[in-house]
Structure 1
């Protein structure tokens, strides 16, 4: 039948061509369009000659063969001692904090199979992915794809009881009643602009330069753009914002996003730089960073910096698509950093007899006994690795103090609620305290922290109106936010952590290079550390990063890394578009040549030209280009990062059914109620972070906004700062 159709179409084309010369110009135009359409039909007929089931099955088998080969290679490197189970060196420490759970490893493997299969199908059809997704033309192939890959899907089903639940799920599922997986842990991050992968079909290979060449080494770009030459150890201080701004940023980062890495055999940490270069190129997980020959900061003859690819995922395995990244956490601002995003961990850290979070020492979390959970390089005092909802509680002291703070807040709430409502069960006490803590995190973030980053003008423009839940908004994490914008906080981190006495005098400092992932300082004197965190100025938000993060990241555990290089490389391997593409997406203007960089000072433009010497302005990485922008008035960010922040925080608020201000809380049964009563909401809105710090760290005085550097006259007695009034919770 197909051959008859083709013959008839060929005859039709011949007739059209023969008549073109004899007709009027308009008729010739119509007939040429008809001929082009007939050619399209012929091409479709040719493609429909493929057996869809066989085509997809062959592609899938190809993917499975690639996966089997990769598995054998991982096994080989594990038994050779190249890849190692988490231990005490820097790579293993990163492997612990960027932990790859079994489910994420399975998703990563499924992604490998799916992408190889898709590449095979596109090669056979000779079409780009966007054409394949035109369902009216390739419906048979798309249907067959869904049939053969639906086993990789793990779509959530929510019972009526789960949809009617008063409290959030731990993993973020069932928040949106039409899309149960939106914002759920272990789902794909979403894109703000199309992917910029460099393989022939644009599916998975890290971004390259606009002309197809390799981009300059991420370490080279870091050295040019992030190194503050007047003082290698200390970049300029911020005279407005305290270290607490940075610590809180990392705290909520660990509430919103974590990217698991590709794992080796038996969950081992993959190592690349110990292999010869030709072998590294054979490992798809290796996206290691070239160290320039003239780099004097690292050891002589060191040419490679470790960087392992993030675990992959498809946004929907039921449809062909490009590689995306897994968000291991629930995407909502829900205090998962305190309580966990996976049921097993969440259940391990609270006491089912009392509703309290478990304490090993009074006011301190339980111990995380897992290998590599933290580093303990000091022997002056006994201490341990604290276990919180998020695995990274020991990363740095200005983060650990907030984990300990909210353990204390939760347990204080449970104690007070149990006295007020003696009939409440431990489960209800735990859930109500968890619900209040989540609301406090939301309130502090949007009312005290975010305005100091994006500025009051942007807050008034985007967040001034009363909240209203919108079920059409997907409250998932933008990859541009997690892989670039939120990492601007690395520019704010001081070179050291410190302690202050009751007179707010610095009594001790500890260089970060000596204490990465080491909670020693927090156990030595947590109150003195917190006093320093809420009083000492952070670093200015600019393109510069302190030397401890450029040359000594995790140096206390082995071979040091460069955090800025990793940020740049991570953006490239995630397929983030260049800075210019995001600038345009935000409506800030097109950037086509160096003269269009009007959001940058002239010396910064010169530095960018040096960092990307052989390329186009379109090669500039998002992290570097946006971080180095001039700030807008009263903001801590340039316009591009401010745009990404605004879009992300709009999603987090307006797409969250459990947002604390939601007065019209819908459920599947049709009943509507507020997340909290109006009196409870007003009580939450009176909370200040400084008041919580006072109550739970035994301070006597503090400034009203813990994120603002205080003058001596700004401090007020702690008794004048209200805590949360729980009267509206009394039953």
Structure 2
């Protein structure tokens, strides 16, 4: 019997949101559910009554003769109660109807790169109403229909936004300083500050990278196409190496070969593609395309794929490429291919894959009748909310210090007029500040705080080295090492990334060159954007760059104040009080994260996305709790995973945890 002839299969899988089949029979009598002032009642089919336990919302279930999409439209009219209403009225549909919709995958983009440009995700077939019952409860993987009125905002495989028009030497696409030579070689950047230590630990660096990969990924052209030190139009923009360069290895090569980001087809001036969604949604875990999901999800179950290896659950990998620790070239499979860049990053990916599966297992036990699709979507939704809570309540206040309240501030609700799309200035320059936090050496410690047998590792030895996790004690010693080592101030890069990164690349110079590749405005213009004085002399930078020697260095290397690269100038600023970055970076970073929160309908504090009781549980989550729940053997932890513990370690059983029984079906 085919699936089309199987009425039982159809009853379970028919796309209710299409409006072509009716919702399951619903009770005709009003159903009362608890509400609170955090979820205000609205018009439509709601009435409010008062009982001894407090205010309640009486919900009249739409008659079963209505199509599901019509019923969901009535829920949409009272969206602040959407989570309760969808559950009560049995309208929840965990499968999106993608029929007729154009979708892209990472493989599609990769295949397009050799043509010289990459396509954008088309809005053809994007009809949020068709799958409204799905969209009210769950995110799409590619970010479409987050904003139900503007469905392409924040979606993956779309161009970055800009605060200023792209700045190219020819006005169309030639990199800044490639034709008129108005700026020094990117290799001559000036980051003189010595590093200093804070009460914050190295998890600040690692979480920042994890978040960066949630929000953006730029499509690059193959570096193999750049074979010489001559520029190749639209493809290669090498960084020349001067005769006085102290790195003899670089000097012998005469240049650092840099491939340009792939341009979007038929767009001028040149623009770049974001392969990820703009939202804080865990896309580095789940990917940003339904066409890619099969690589990460375990079939139609509620779980993510994991591999059991050496008594630990890790991300999937090709075991034939990992015979032993000395011959291990395997790469982990994750929602973002960059998961293998550094074993600290891989460790967080593994932790959150385990967290998804831990939650999925609990939801399955609480709701044995739920389908695998329902379990998967609910677990994904919870994990995304946990990430948001850690980001906005733990990480960003430390990064931005006293600037946090000004540039982000308290949550005031979802705003349909806010576009969360990632700004090119943010992803290409501002949020690359974290490269300056990378250390030369990382320790790995055991339960007692002592170095493990295998010892620590130099940064370069942790790049693309999955074997160090698989054969040298797993993720626990790496995470402990991060949590017990003070973070490095980001204003000066270590030789590990300026002289040795991937063997032949200076990451600092690459950051500057990438800004020129993308037409990023100058430091002076970004100062203006942030409300600072437009500098006409280099001493005018003194309000944010206090060291006169640094200002003098800028004057020696740049012709005018308008030529200073945004990345260079912003990294030289003194940090704000209580934070790690300066005023201009605080502004550019905070502005993006505020839009990513306020323009996200699925931000967890937005009424209707979760029930009131579920929101209270999510607020209990923390990175320390996630580590305790998913590490192989963690007994003591800092209550705040981003602070050095000192002598104040807390037993894991004393760290607040979420009560997942709040997700038991009504």
SS at match of 2:314: coil
Aligned-partner Cα distance in 2 for 1:246–1:309: 26
Aligned-partner Cα distance in 2 for 1:112–1:577: 24
Aligned-partner Cα distance in 1 for 2:161–2:300: 40
Residue 190 in structure 1 maps to residue 144 in structure 2: no
Q: Report what 1:180 is aligned to.
A: 151
Q: Report what 1:527 is aligned to.
A: 476
Q: Report what 2:507 is aligned to.
A: 563
More helix by share: 1
Residue 701 in structure 1 maps to residue 636 in structure 2: yes
Alignment of 1:87-98 (within 5 A): none
2:173 to 195, 200, 204: 204
Deviations 1:478-535 (A, max 9, x none): 1111001110000111112321011212341111223322222222222111111222
* Shift of residue 383, structure 1, vs aligned partner: 7.7
Q: Report what 1:645 is aligned to.
A: 589
Deviations 1:377-397 (A, max 9, x none): 973586832111111111112
Alignment of 1:142-291 (within 5 A): 155=124, 157-165=126-134, 166-199=137-170, 202-208=171-177, 212-221=180-189, 225-226=190-191, 236-263=195-222, 269-272=223-226, 274-275=227-228, 277=229, 280-291=230-241
Q: Report what 1:364 is aligned to.
A: 314
1:540 to 479, 483, 489: 489
Q: Report what 1:403 is aligned to.
A: 349
Residue 493 in structure 1 maps to residue 493 in structure 2: no
Change (3 A) 1:156 1:606: farther
Aligned-partner Cα distance in 1 for 2:252–2:182: 22
* Shift of residue 728, structure 1, vs aligned partner: 0.9
SS at match of 2:443: strand
Change (3 A) 1:108 1:592: farther
Q: Report what 2:396 is aligned to.
A: 450
SS at match of 1:363: strand
Deviations 1:570-596 (A, max 9, x none): 000100111001001111111111110
* Shift of residue 323, structure 1, vs aligned partner: 1.4
Decide whether the 8 Å contact of 1:541 with 1:636 is kept in 2: yes
Residue 654 in structure 1 maps to residue 598 in structure 2: yes
Decide whether the 8 Å contact of 1:467 with 1:661 is kept in 2: no
Alignment of 1:290-689 (within 5 A): 290-299=240-249, 300-313=251-264, 321-361=268-308, 362-367=312-317, 379-380=325-326, 384-455=330-401, 457-507=402-452, 508-523=455-470, 524-525=472-473, 526-542=475-491, 544-555=492-503, 560-598=504-542, 599-600=544-545, 601-612=547-558, 615-663=559-607, 674-689=608-623
* Shift of residue 610, structure 1, vs aligned partner: 3.5
Aligned-partner Cα distance in 2 for 1:461–1:705: 23
Change (3 A) 1:384 1:707: same
Decide whether the 8 Å contact of 1:289 with 1:306 is kept in 2: yes
Residue 103 in structure 1 maps to residue 137 in structure 2: no
Aligned-partner Cα distance in 2 for 1:255–1:368: 24
Q: Report what 1:70 is aligned to.
A: none
SS at match of 2:140: coil
TM-score (norm 1): 0.71
Aligned-partner Cα distance in 2 for 1:152–1:382: 37
Q: Report what 2:86 is aligned to.
A: none
Decide whether the 8 Å contact of 1:368 with 1:387 is kept in 2: no
Aligned-partner Cα distance in 2 for 1:298–1:387: 37
Change (3 A) 1:100 1:288: farther
Aligned-partner Cα distance in 1 for 2:587–2:476: 36
Aligned-partner Cα distance in 2 for 1:662–1:304: 51
Decide whether the 8 Å contact of 1:107 with 1:313 is kept in 2: no
Change (3 A) 1:400 1:107: closer
Once the two structures are overlaid, the 10-residue window that deviates more, 433-442 or 339-348, is 339-348
Decide whether the 8 Å contact of 1:350 with 1:358 is kept in 2: yes
Aligned-partner Cα distance in 2 for 1:495–1:156: 50
Residue 719 in structure 1 maps to residue 653 in structure 2: yes
Decide whether the 8 Å contact of 1:108 with 1:311 is kept in 2: no
Decide whether the 8 Å contact of 2:639 with 2:649 is kept in 1: yes
SS at match of 1:240: strand
* Shift of residue 429, structure 1, vs aligned partner: 0.8
Once the two structures are overlaid, the 10-residue window that deviates more, 356-365 or 243-252, is 356-365
Deviations 1:11-58 (A, max 9, x none): xxxxxxxxxxxxxxxxxxxxxxxxxxxxxxxxxxxxxxxxxxxxxxxx
Change (3 A) 1:505 1:100: same
Decide whether the 8 Å contact of 1:105 with 1:311 is kept in 2: no
Q: Report what 1:29 is aligned to.
A: none
Aligned-partner Cα distance in 1 for 2:570–2:370: 50
Aligned-partner Cα distance in 2 for 1:596–1:255: 36
Change (3 A) 1:611 1:163: farther
Which consecutive unaligned segments of at least 5 residues does structure 2 have?
Answer: 1-104
Q: Report what 1:83 is aligned to.
A: none
Decide whether the 8 Å contact of 1:111 with 1:323 is kept in 2: no
